[in-house]
């Protein structure tokens, strides 16, 4: 099924994975103070709430962290999507699969709002809970990759993957760990 910004609940398996992530993060982050920013879509909210049962941090739900809006394709099969989407032209960044769908450029610009907000806060430790496409765009912003350079890039992750981003003493941004799946087991 095509998910996008469809507001589905977590499956029982998804809840189990969120509990596993929460338990492991509690051990790893013991004694450190974090804030959690999460997409406001139900499945991300549920994930954040379950993880936070183990951490007890301040939790903020933000629409900017939603997955890409796929328009009328929400909840349809991938085959339906493939058979009904607009043909892709030269520039995939501005590709709009359906008239009511978001482009990658629109998602990139939406995510930029929250990335900039986070960068200008004094909070040192932040947890982000989002979706594949929104986290991908977050990473591009974090690594200062301009929109025009993402045309040929694709950062693929799996559900439940945990990544760590950092800044060094010179404010260089670092992708320390990408999509570690061991947290969900």
Quickly state the pLDDT bin for 66 (edges 50, 70, 90): very high
| Residues contacting residue 123 through CB under 8 Å, at least 6 positions apart | 35
What average pLDDT does the segment 54-68 reach? 95
**In-domain check, residue 6:** no
Report the mean per-residue pLDDT for the chain.
Answer: 92
**In-domain check, residue 60:** yes
**In-domain check, residue 91:** no
Q: First-to-last CA distance in the chain?
A: 24
Asked if pLDDT for residue 20 goes beyond 90, the answer is yes
pLDDT of residue 43: 95
Strands 35-39 and 58-62 come out as: parallel
Number of domains in the chain: 1
Chain-centroid distance, C-alpha 115: 12
**In-domain check, residue 107:** yes
pLDDT of residue 123: 76
What average pLDDT does the segment 38-44 reach? 96
**In-domain check, residue 169:** yes
Residues 155-170 pLDDT 10s: 888 889 999 998 889 9
**In-domain check, residue 88:** no
Asked if pLDDT for residue 56 goes beyond 80, the answer is yes
What average pLDDT does the segment 42-63 reach? 96
Residues 67-123 pLDDT 10s: 999 999 998 999 999 999 999 876 688 999 999 999 999 999 999 999 998 888 777
Residues 128-152 pLDDT 10s: 999 988 999 999 999 999 998 988 8
Quickly state the pLDDT bin for 153 (edges 50, 70, 90): confident
121 vs 13: which has the higher pLDDT: 13
**In-domain check, residue 89:** no
- Report which DSSP code applies to 172: -
**In-domain check, residue 5:** no
Token representation of residue 123: 């909070």
Q: Which domain holds residue 18?
A: 12-71+103-184
Query: What CATH number has the domain bearing residue 112?
Result: 3.40.50.1240
Residues in the chain: 185
């Amino acid at each position: 099924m095509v998910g996008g910004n469809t507001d589905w609940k977590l499956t029982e398996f998804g809840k189990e994975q969120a509990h596993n992530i929460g338990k492991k993060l509690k051990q790893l982050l013991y004694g450190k103070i974090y804030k959690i920013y999460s997409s406001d879509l139900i499945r991300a909210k549920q994930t954040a709430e379950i993880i936070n049962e183990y951490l007890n941090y301040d939790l903020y739900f933000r629409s900017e962290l939603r997955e890409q809006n796929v328009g009328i394709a929400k909840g349809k099969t991938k085959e339906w999507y493939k058979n009904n989407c607009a043909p892709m032209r030269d520039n995939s960044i501005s590709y709009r699969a359906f008239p009511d769908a978001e482009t990658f450029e629109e998602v990139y610009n939406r995510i930029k709002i929250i990335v900039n907000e986070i960068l200008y806060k004094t909070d040192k430790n932040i947890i982000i809970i989002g979706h594949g496409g929104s986290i991908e765009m977050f990473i591009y912003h974090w690594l200062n990759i301009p929109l025009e350079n993402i045309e040929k890039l694709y950062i693929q992750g799996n559900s439940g993957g945990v990544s760590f981003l950092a800044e060094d003493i010179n404010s260089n941004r670092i992708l320390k760990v990408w999509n570690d799946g061991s947290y969900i087991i």
